[in-house]
Structure 1
């Protein structure tokens, strides 16, 4: 192990034990047996060291996953159980990166370098999970692949939270089998009932997918506007108020569907509709969709 690797391993242990904010560069240097100044020859700041460790943990996980070989006598779904066991065990042993997986607050904020590395690893992790699901269930589930990934990640995230942060004595093997059995049931139901999928590869948020994401957003905006119109129709109120709400919604629809909607007018019209509590949920969703659409430069 070279000196840089020694520093990162030592810092990882201290960050995991004491927390990022409570660990100083001086303490890391002392544990490594070097002068603090020598530490800065490798890392310009504690934040830079954190980013390196975060990326290192993911590189190690992916490298181990590539050489992970299951028993050739196992079925694809039994192999999937083994892969889930591996993931859970790795996250338990490397709780440091679990902060990212369980959406707990990370100590690094507003760092372009960190966000780039974080997003790259997220895409790689989701792609790996996608390949695992296809291997287990075959290409016939490709239509629902991204919905299944979200469902799988939700199962995995919640059980990891209970195991790691609430110290529940759950068997890793039983959790892995349970997750696969639940996915089996979901896959059977999807293939039988054949509903329209909700998600596609745009959830990876790569630059190549921006146009697809924007198209999906615009469709969702139309659907949400229609849902608001239906909700107004079902309101228990007098016709004068219903007519006023419909007129406001029509003005809002016309404005947000323009190439360059006027934000002040959109805000004012939505504020008027928000006076009715039964519309708040739809309007919150609409606001989120509009924000996402602005991000993709379509509105």
Structure 2
């Protein structure tokens, strides 16, 4: 863990215990064991620190979710239950940044930079849920995919609300099994009844969604490339391998921003980078943005 990650982990703990407003940069510096001036060299403000923590938690979620692809001995239904339980537990452990911000008022919510990062992660999360549902039920559900995503996320959000905010003592395993079994019944009914779907992938972009604006898409790409750069710095690897990864990232960045970007080269460079598990989440995000 590098110094920035160390500070972000400590700050998240302070935010969770004391709240955003009651936590000062001086307290963060003291708890991190560094001078306040050194803290400001790494994070220009408490707002920027929160935004990086928010992004870090989401990327950690996506990276850890990749591990479930290795559970080959499990059936698709069993794997689905496990990954739903993992998400519930992760949201509980990191509820300060992972849960719906409508439950509390934070100054950060008025930040355009935060809103842009939140929208980017929201889209990535919805695409992750899309892949999750297809892995569980197969391509035959594609007609109903976006309706199922909304239903699944509604189930998840409501049970998390009861667990986190109402402090209901619910087993995360039982909740996960219950959610998946209800989805199984809904999928079976939809395929049997051949009902008309209500939603399509337009739900990814609300009319006022910042992510639909070209200038913000460019901003997201730059932030994602920066995230890859920071991940490379924190890798436990040899200096020669770190140098090779940085060279690859430099070539990728130059190709993306060139006047005539070559898709085959971009794909090859991303393929080389995503061999590192710590970078996979950023590469998936980058592919969505470039698409």
**TM-score (norm. length: structure 1):** 0.66
Q: Which residue of 2 aligns with 1:120?
A: 120
SS for the counterpart of 2:63 is: helix
The structure with more radius of gyration: 1
Matches for 1:13-162 after TM superposition, within 5 Å:
13-69=13-69, 71-100=71-100, 103-105=102-104, 107=106, 108-162=108-162
Q: Which residue of 2 aligns with 1:165?
A: 165
Shift of 1:118: 0.6
Q: Which has the higher contact order (CA 8 A, sep 6+)?
A: 2
Q: Which residue of 1 aligns with 2:250?
A: none
Contact 1:10–1:28 under 8 Å retained in 2? yes
- Runs of 5+ consecutive residues of structure 2 not aligned to the other structure: 206-210, 214-291
CA distance in 1, matches of 2:46, 2:187: 45
CA distance in 1, matches of 2:64, 2:169: 25
Shift of 1:106: 5.1
- Runs of 5+ consecutive residues of structure 1 not aligned to the other structure: 209-299
Runs of 4+, deviation exceeding 4 Å: none
**1:106–1:99 Cα change, 3 Å:** farther
CA distance in 2, matches of 1:40, 1:71: 43
The CA deviation string for residues 107-164 of structure 1, in whole angstroms up to 9 with x for no partner, is 2123221111111111111101111111111111111100000000000011111111
Shift of 1:90: 0.9
Q: Tell me the matched-pair count.
A: 207
The CA deviation string for residues 252-278 of structure 1, in whole angstroms up to 9 with x for no partner, is xxxxxxxxxxxxxxxxxxxxxxxxxxx
SS for the counterpart of 2:170 is: coil
Shift of 1:69: 4.2
Contact 2:91–2:99 under 8 Å retained in 1? no
Q: For the aligned residues, what is the CA RMSD?
A: 1.6
**1:65–1:94 Cα change, 3 Å:** same
